[in-house]
Structure 1
Amino acid sequence: MADSTKPDTFSPEEKKAMRDRAKELKAAAGRENDAAANEQAIAILPDDERELAERIRDMVVASAPHLDPKTYYGFPAWARDGKVVCFFKPKSKFKVRYSTFEFDTAASLDDGAVWATAFAVHNEMTDSDLAMLGGLVAKAAT
């Protein structure tokens, strides 16, 4: 015979706590998968573009470590609260002259009536170039 002093089911609070924990685990697994996809998107690039993408990645991580790596249309990207802030678009993807580093609409770059959201990037970028982009990433990530 069942003990009537012990409930057969979980309380509403316990059920909510279990649902919340399941969401946390799913989100963590999603972030891990997103980070792995970002790394894979960089790893499969031709050597010159991979080197450039790695420099971009290092700059983004240094400038806004709270951004989450992910992919955006197969491009290496970084997001805040699930929304893409910036991404690297390799030239080989569209067989164009140069790769670009771009900011998406979640980026907080508004500056008057006109501001840049995409930059042509090349392996000859200097530390000064990366610092300029890093400043924009830090601003965009707020």
Structure 2
Amino acid sequence: MKQRAEELRSTKGLKGAAKLAREMEACVSAIDELEGIDSEVATMFHRLVSEEAPDLAPKTFYGFPAYANGEGKVVMFVQPKSKFDTRYPTVNFDEHAHLDDGAMWPTSFAVVEVTSEVESRLRDLVRRAVA
């Protein structure tokens, strides 16, 4: 909660391009601080989102690298394993992602290795999330 409060404070009073630039800087900084598989996943996902969903704005969300729509609502984010000392990082899609598929669908994906197959699957999910 403290990280989220700090994120909000850091952009207080900023609007438009200045706010987007500060949020982008925070996202890139959060990715740069990661190591190992956390760094690999976050770096790859940042590239995918930039390529497939350029309208999403990079920011941080509770310290996680995240990507928000034009209304500022987080659509997707990476949760590093180091944050909660878990076995693997996850790529998560929030309620604003358009992944609905019947009565139940996954919104969180564990990534234990960055491979071309993983990248391809995540690329498809990003495309679907913003469609």
Q: TM-score, normalised by structure 1?
A: 0.77
Runs of 4+ in 1 over 3 A off after TM superposition: none
Which one of the candidate residues 39, 42, 56 is aligned to 2:45?
Answer: 56
Letter in 2 for 1:109: L
Which residue is 1:113 aligned to? Answer: 103
SS in 1 for 2:50: helix
Higher relative contact order (CA 8 A, sep 6+): 2
The structural deviation recorded for 1:102 is 0.2
Alignment gaps of 5+ in structure 1? 1-24
Which one of the candidate residues 79, 83, 96 is aligned to 1:93?
Answer: 83
Which residue is 1:72 aligned to? Answer: 61
Instruction: Supply the RMSD in Å over aligned alpha carbons.
Output: 1.3
The structural deviation recorded for 1:116 is 0.7
The structural deviation recorded for 1:52 is 2.2
CA distance in structure 1 between the aligned counterparts of 2:42 and 2:90, rounded to whole angstroms: 10
- Provide the identity percentage: 47
CA distance in structure 2 between the aligned counterparts of 1:47 and 1:140, rounded to whole angstroms: 27
Please say which structure displays the higher CA radius of gyration. 1
The structural deviation recorded for 1:49 is 1.8
Alignment gaps of 5+ in structure 2? 1-13
Letter in 2 for 1:116: P
Aligned pair count? Answer: 117
